[in-house]
Structure 1
Amino acid sequence: MKYAFSTLGVPGMPVADVAALAASTGYQGVELRTHPEEPVHLDLTTPERSAVVREFAGAGVEILALAGYTQVAAPGDDGPVLTALDRLVRLAGDLGAPFVRVFPGGGDSDRAEADAVAARRLGAAAETAASVGVRILLETHDSHRTGQDVSRIVGTVGHKHAGALWDVMHTWLGEEPPSTSHASLSPYLGYIQVKDVASRDDLTPLPLGEGVLPLGECLSLADPDGWVCWEYEKRWYEGAAELPGLLAGGLAHLRAQA
């Protein structure tokens, strides 16, 4: 199994420092939060993209994924969503990242309608993704937080460059057993995103193994050759402990659970 962490846990950290941190703590990859406030964003120039690639290659660390914020089931016209997907996918292609993360964002839309909208958009974007060697992964999140929710969409798309990202907290919040989540997502799964929290009422991030999420059960189902990424949501919880000092212990915990 290979391990990565998300830069959501180290908001704003320069690319060189992220790559060095991953290398020094034993992580093989990094999931880059792709947002205007971060060093890696959609408006990077060609030379800046090349510089990012060099930093990670020099550290011997892979760019696992770009974590974007496009909402593929959101109400409204397809045009802006498809444009955002195109830009995200092409950035991933330039950086050599095999995956991009997107959200459902269906809100209060009728479930069948939200599913259809998301499937249509993902199907269109998957063609571009295929041309640059990238898979678009729909995360178990917000309006589609369970594996069964996400599998309805990606199963309808039926394209190998449209897949799923299993965020184990959201399937847990959706009261879906890990075995059900895995069975639903495994035909489409890109990688697994882990975290830990104290309770359903307190989602402040904790060091792995110190909370209540069923990480052991989830990881026991994981592909032994696949990726697991620790998403520590420091960006949204300023009072949470700093991630760099937790990374080595988190990796040890993940390896013990696998």
Structure 2
Amino acid sequence: MNLALSTLGCPDWNLERILSVGREAGYDGVDVRGYRDEIDVTRHPLFTDRADETQSRVETAGLTVSALSSSISLCEPGDRSARVAEARRLIEVGDAFDVDRIRVFGGGDLDAHSRAELARAGGETMREILAIDGAADFQWVLETHDAWTASADCQRLLDEMPTDDVGIVWDAAHTLRLADESPRETLDALGDRIEYVHLKDAVHDPDHRDATDDGYVYTVPGDGDLPMADVVAALHERDYDGWLVFEHEKRWHPSIPEPEVAFPAFVGWVRDQL
């Protein structure tokens, strides 16, 4: 398994520090989810006008861009032009960085639409994206997130996808907390479609100022309440050899541990599990 850090975990760091800490801590790659003040890296010159320079710096550090993690939500009925335009920009950035996969969300409003309607809208959006020149060169992966966290719901959305090549980003913290699924239950249901894995630990502390909607606060791996060791063990049993991404959500939860502490701690924790 290869290890990547997410740029969500270090929103104040410049590229030099991201790459140097990533290399020194023992990571293999960087999952790009925003850079400094810009969450959409397709609008930042380091990833557009200066992409060749940035890619050279990534390679010199001995790292790889493991994925581009976009904000695209597929399951929004109505005008899809903005999402398709973002996908087109992502393809250009992905080409510049030799990226294999692009993360998208399901999204959608279950108060306004049925799950079936949202799933159909997701399939239609994905068809438009895959019609873009070069889109089929990437693996598009849906995260277990929001309305599409439980395995059965994810499968329903996958069934609407125009190709079996659309896969799953397994955010294990979401399926554990929000879908009440054990790691093995998720893997039994979706294992053949899981192409990328996000890991993060959390402690239940609903009074904390940075608590999630369900009362959890993200913390250093191994210090929380979530059975993350069981996730790694289950992946190991299934011979998963893809990416494990430490998605430390510092951008959204500023009081959680600093990246210079959390990033090395994740690598050490994973090594203890394997």
Q: Using structure 2 for the length normalisation, give the TM-score.
A: 0.86
CA distance in 2, matches of 1:151, 1:69: 21
Give the structure 2 partner of residue 246 of structure 1: 262
Residue 64 of structure 1, CA deviation: 0.4
Structure 2 vs 1, CA of residues 250 and 49 (structure 1 numbering), >3 Å: closer, same or farther? Answer: same
What SS class does the counterpart of residue 203 from structure 2 fall into?
coil
Residue 93 of structure 1, CA deviation: 2.1
Give the structure 1 partner of residue 243 of structure 2: 227
1:63-74 counterparts in 2 under 5 A? 63-74=65-76
Q: Structure 1: state its 5+ residue gaps.
A: none
CA distance in 2, matches of 1:230, 1:147: 21
CA distance in 1, matches of 2:43, 2:252: 23
CA distance in 2, matches of 1:31, 1:39: 13
AA matched with 1:70: I
Work out the number of aligned pairs and report it: 258
Give the structure 1 partner of residue 16 of structure 2: 16
Structure 2 vs 1, CA of residues 17 and 26 (structure 1 numbering), >3 Å: closer, same or farther? Answer: same
8 Å CA contact 1:85–1:125 kept in 2: the answer is: yes
8 Å CA contact 1:6–1:32 kept in 2: the answer is: yes
8 Å CA contact 2:73–2:104 kept in 1: the answer is: yes
**Which range moved further: 207-216 or 142-151?**
142-151
1:99-248 counterparts in 2 under 5 A? 99-108=101-110, 109-128=113-132, 131=135, 133-172=137-176, 173-199=178-204, 201=206, 202-222=215-235, 223-248=239-264
Structure 2 vs 1, CA of residues 52 and 66 (structure 1 numbering), >3 Å: closer, same or farther? Answer: same
Structure 2 vs 1, CA of residues 218 and 200 (structure 1 numbering), >3 Å: closer, same or farther? Answer: farther
8 Å CA contact 2:171–2:198 kept in 1: the answer is: yes
Q: Using structure 1 for the length normalisation, give the TM-score.
A: 0.91
CA distance in 2, matches of 1:4, 1:251: 9
CA distance in 1, matches of 2:136, 2:228: 33
Percentage of pairs with the same residue: 26
Structure 2 vs 1, CA of residues 246 and 102 (structure 1 numbering), >3 Å: closer, same or farther? Answer: same
Q: Structure 2: state its 5+ residue gaps.
A: 207-214
Give the structure 1 partner of residue 211 of structure 2: none
8 Å CA contact 1:198–1:204 kept in 2: the answer is: yes
Residue 40 of structure 1, CA deviation: 6.8
8 Å CA contact 1:63–1:97 kept in 2: the answer is: yes
CA distance in 2, matches of 1:86, 1:148: 30
Structure 2 vs 1, CA of residues 119 and 36 (structure 1 numbering), >3 Å: closer, same or farther? Answer: farther
What SS class does the counterpart of residue 225 from structure 1 fall into?
coil
**Which range moved further: 211-220 or 148-157?**
148-157
Residue 92 of structure 1, CA deviation: 1.6
Give deviations 1:59-88, integer Å, cap 9, x for gaps: 010100111111111232222222222222
8 Å CA contact 2:197–2:244 kept in 1: the answer is: yes
8 Å CA contact 2:205–2:217 kept in 1: the answer is: no
Residue 158 of structure 1, CA deviation: 5.0
Structure 2 vs 1, CA of residues 130 and 47 (structure 1 numbering), >3 Å: closer, same or farther? Answer: closer
CA distance in 1, matches of 2:6, 2:184: 25
**Which range moved further: 192-201 or 105-114?**
192-201
Residue 127 of structure 1, CA deviation: 4.7
CA distance in 1, matches of 2:26, 2:94: 23
Structure 2 vs 1, CA of residues 142 and 40 (structure 1 numbering), >3 Å: closer, same or farther? Answer: closer
Residue 44 of structure 1, CA deviation: 4.1
1:76-95 counterparts in 2 under 5 A? 76-95=78-97
CA distance in 2, matches of 1:143, 1:235: 22
CA distance in 1, matches of 2:9, 2:84: 28
AA matched with 2:71: Y
CA distance in 2, matches of 1:183, 1:123: 27
8 Å CA contact 2:11–2:36 kept in 1: the answer is: no
CA distance in 2, matches of 1:26, 1:101: 23
AA matched with 2:157: I
CA distance in 2, matches of 1:161, 1:13: 34
